[in-house]
Amino acid sequence: MIKRSSTESCDLVDTKRHKQHDKHDEESGRDHHVNDVESRIVDYILARANWGVRNSISSKSSCRKVLVIGKPYYWLNESIEMDKAPECFKEFAAKHNVDDCNSILCNVYESKESRIAKHCDNTSLLEPGKGDVVSISLAIHHSDRSKELAKMYFSDKTTLSLKHGTVVRFDAFVDALANRTHCIPSTYAPRISLTFRHLK
C-alpha cells in the first residue's frame, strides 16, 4: 500500500485488483521485479511527493500530491534541482525528446477522487515562444500498464484516454489565446504524470 497521511480522506483506487502484487511487496503493492526506467521514476516520485502548497491553497483538496523538479511551476513546494534528479529522469526525457525542458511537475493521482480542475496553463511563467507542454502518464502499478488510468477533457470537446506511456502535447500560448481549458475529473487506476515545460 502507498503510504498516506492519516488525515487524508481520499480512498485508494481498487486495492483488491493489486492483491496479487501485494504478495510480491506488501509495503508498496508494486511488483519490484519490474525495474525499467518508468518504474524507477515511479518509485522515486512516490517516495518524495507531497501535498502541493501555494499560499493558502493545497492540492489536498484535489487528492493529488506533487513533486517539483527543476524550475517550480505553480506549486511553491521545495523543488529538486534538475541536475540532482536521478539518471532515470534524464533517460526518460531524452526518450521523449523533452530533455531541453527546465521544469518537470510530477502529479500523483492515487485515489478515485484524485483530479485536476479545469484550467489553462499559466503562460506568464513560460519562456516566450516555448509554449509546448508535454505531459506523460505512468501507471503506478505494473498490473495497470495496459489499462485506461484516466481521461483528459479539453473544452473544445477533445477527450484523451490516458494510459501508461500516453504522451499529451499542447501549446499553452495557443490554448490560452483560444481559452481552451483541460481537466482530469477522476482517476480510474493510480497514475503519475510528468509535465515538462520551458519556464523563464
Ligand X SMILES: O=C(O)CCC(=O)C(=O)O
Least separation in angstroms between residue 19's CB and ligand X is 27
CA dist., res. 104 & res. 125, Å (int): 13
Q: Provide the grid cell at 9.
A: 480522506
Residue 157 has, within 13 A of its CA and on its CB side, a CA count of 0
135 or 143: whose CB is closer to ligand X?
A: 135
Cβ(139)–Cβ(164) under 8 Å?
A: yes
Q: Which of residues 10, 195, 196, 198 is near ligand X by CB under 6 A?
A: 195
Beta bridge partners of 70: 103
Q: Binding-site residue total for ligand X (CB under 6 A)?
A: 10
Packing angle of the helix pair 87-95, 37-48 (nearest 10 deg): 130
40 or 151: whose CB is closer to ligand X?
A: 151
Least separation in angstroms between residue 193's CB and ligand X is 3
Q: Which of residues 39, 143, 187, 193 is near ligand X by CB under 6 A?
A: 193
Cβ(136)–Cβ(193) under 8 Å?
A: yes
Cβ(186)–Cβ(114) under 8 Å?
A: yes
27 or 156: whose CB is closer to ligand X?
A: 156
Q: Which of residues 12, 82, 116, 167 is near ligand X by CB under 6 A?
A: 116
Q: Is 13 in the site for ligand X (CB under 6 A)?
A: no
Q: Which of residues 69, 105, 108, 140 is near ligand X by CB under 6 A?
A: 105
Which stretches of the chain bind ligand X, using CB under 6 A? 105, 107, 116, 121, 135, 137, 182, 184, 193, 195
